[in-house]
Structure formats: structure tokens, C-alpha cells
Structure 1
Amino acid sequence: MRLLDGLITRLLDGPLEALVTKKVDERVEALKLDALYSHRWHGDESRLRIDETAIVNNALFNVSGGTITVGKDAFFGHDVAILTGTHDIEKFGRERQMAFPRSGRDVVIGEGVWLASHVLVLGPVTIGDHAVVAGGSLVREDVAPYTVVAGRPAKVVKTIARPDAAEATPQEAQAESP
């Protein structure tokens, strides 16, 4: 019986090890992909409202100081962070860690907003519909709809033409002026 067990072990050892290695490698790759397309949150998850059509990839949402709302068709690049929390710089040690507002620092991200990779948003702030925030930007103030902002802190660099805005002919523009 020992001889037969040894023979079976030698016959199966290579193929079985290769199969196990292949399956482990596939699972590791799947986990890497999952990490790129799974958001994380800190605080009460019920304070996070993401429209089902939004794509947030691997964003981090901190809802400790307010709610976060992500509108219809909004989409994020990778490593975006939306933070409602802050701490009291006048406190020290453990007291500083625990002294933070529990509400009032809401973040609203409107319909069709694009937050490019590595954007940091600090609430309270509203990013208006169809606005674009350039990669690596820091948003500390409200962003008007149909604008492009960039920088640290983010500043308006362009206004986007609204799709429903009709082009006025030169005659119409002249008739409207006083």
C-alpha cells in the first residue's frame, strides 16, 4: 500500500501544485481588481448616499462630520478622498483625536461630476452638476455647475458650455443688448 501511495503522490504532486498555484494567482489578481473598484468609508455608512449610476472606484469617504451625496452619473478617478471630518487644532493628544464635529460638514457632488484621480474634497462643500475637478486638486470651496477647477486649492480654469444653451446669432445678441 505504501508503494502505491508513493506512486500516486509523485504522479499528482506536480499537476496538483500547478493547479493550486494557478488558482491562488487568479484570486490574488481578482482581489487587486476588486481593490481598484471598491470604495471605503469611515463612520456611519448610512450617511453615504451614492446614486446607483455613479462610478466611484476606490474612493475613500469620511462621513464622521456630515453626509456625503454623490449624484447621478458622477464618476471618480482612482484614489479620490471625500472628507467631512476635521479636528480641533487647539486640542492636544487624545482630546484632539476625539474633538471633531459630528455634523454640518456635508459634501454634495452633483449630477455628472467628474473628479479625476487623486482629488481631495474637504467639506462642507458642494460641487455643482457637470463640473470637472482636475487630477490632484484640493477642493475646499463650492464649485459652480459646468466649471472646470484645478490646483491646490482648486480654482476655476474654464467654464463648460451647457448643452441646452442655444448659440445666439450676432443679430440676436445685438437685439438683447441695451
Structure 2
Amino acid sequence: MGGVLRARLRGLIEQIVDERLAAALPAAEERAARAGYERGRAAALTEPLLWGPPGRVHLAEGAVVNDALLNTESGSITVEQHAFFGHRVSVLTGTHDVTQRGTQRQRAVPSDGRDVHVEEGAWVGSGAILLGPCRIGAHAVVAAGAVVTADVAPETVVAGVPARPVRSLRDDVAR
């Protein structure tokens, strides 16, 4: 197949997928708008649980976030183009001051500074937990069930509790 034909076919497939995702999620779009989500075209957001101030979740075009817990109590959550979340991912910007006692410990929560940023094309496996502040690099992969407590380099696979690099994708992926 020629390069021009292949490019046209790829564009047509992407358009069909984008249109179907957008058409399949009108109820999710309404809920997202009410919750203050900022969403790009064809960003898929299915049954999230948002905890924290509205307006702190930013999903770029083509981002896919499945049934996630998004805690924006202490910062914002940004998911760039074509990033993907598996099921039951938890993104937590909130934290507590453990030096406090009793109910004061529950209320001692910073209002900002613990942002989570997931860069373009990154994948976050089902059941993973992202603890802010952290940045998941472009095209990185967070294994299912991993707990991320620090930045993840681009094109790196991390796994475990806490998440540690297990593989580089820099030389493995055909460009």
C-alpha cells in the first residue's frame, strides 16, 4: 500500500474512532461539564469519581480516562493527547499533615502544589495509583497495580510498589 493511501486510511480510521467515542459518551460529557472538567475533542471519560475543587482536571484531545478516581484537592490533573488510563486508576493530588492529631489531621490538606501531569501517549495500567506531585513522561508505561511516587521518564516502563523503572522503550519501538 502506498504511503499516501496508508496516511488517508489512518486518518479515516482516526476520524471514525473519534466520532464514535464522542457519540457514545454524551451523558459522560454532561457530567464532566457539570464537574468543571476541561476536555479536548474526543477525549473519553467514563464514570470518573472527582474529589476536590472543580476546574482542576484537563483532558486533551484523544485522552482516554476510564473509571478513575481523580482527587484534585491539592493540585491539578493534566492528561495530554492520546494518553490512556486503564480501569480503576487513582490519581491523588491530596495529602494530609500526619503531624496533626484527631480530626485536624483529616482537615490539614494543602490547596495546591501537588499536580499530576500525564504526558502525550503515556499509558497507565488498571489499578495503578499516581501520587502527586509527579509527571509521567511521554509514551511511558505504568504497569497495572503500580504506585507512582516520583516522576517517570519518557519512554520508560515502571512497575511495583513503589514504582521503579523496569525497561526502557527508547530503542524498542519502531518510529
TM-score (norm 1): 0.70
- Specify which of 110, 115, 125 is matched with residue 106 of structure 1: 115
Structure exhibiting the larger radius of gyration computed from Cα positions: 1
Q: Any idea what the Cα deviations from partners look like across 1:53-86, whole Å, max 9, x if unmatched?
A: 1111101110010111001001111000000000
- Which residue pairs with 1:16 in the alignment? none
Structure number with the higher helix fraction is 1
Give the deviation of 1:164 after TM superposition: 7.5
Gaps of 5+ in 1: 1-33, 166-178
Separation of aligned partners in 2, 1:55 and 1:39: 11
| 2:105 partner letter | R
- Which residue pairs with 1:159 in the alignment? 168
**Does 2:70 correspond to 1:61?**
yes
Give the deviation of 1:144 after TM superposition: 0.2
**Does 2:55 correspond to 1:46?**
yes
Separation of aligned partners in 2, 1:55 and 1:38: 12
**Does 2:98 correspond to 1:89?**
yes
Q: What does 1:138-153 correspond to in 2, within 5 Å?
A: 138-153=147-162
Separation of aligned partners in 2, 1:92 and 1:161: 47
Separation of aligned partners in 1, 2:46 and 2:74: 25
| 2:136 partner letter | I
Q: Percent same amino acid among aligned pairs?
A: 48
Separation of aligned partners in 2, 1:70 and 1:45: 16
Superposed CA RMSD: 1.7
Separation of aligned partners in 2, 1:164 and 1:145: 15
| 1:112 partner letter | G
| 1:150 partner letter | A
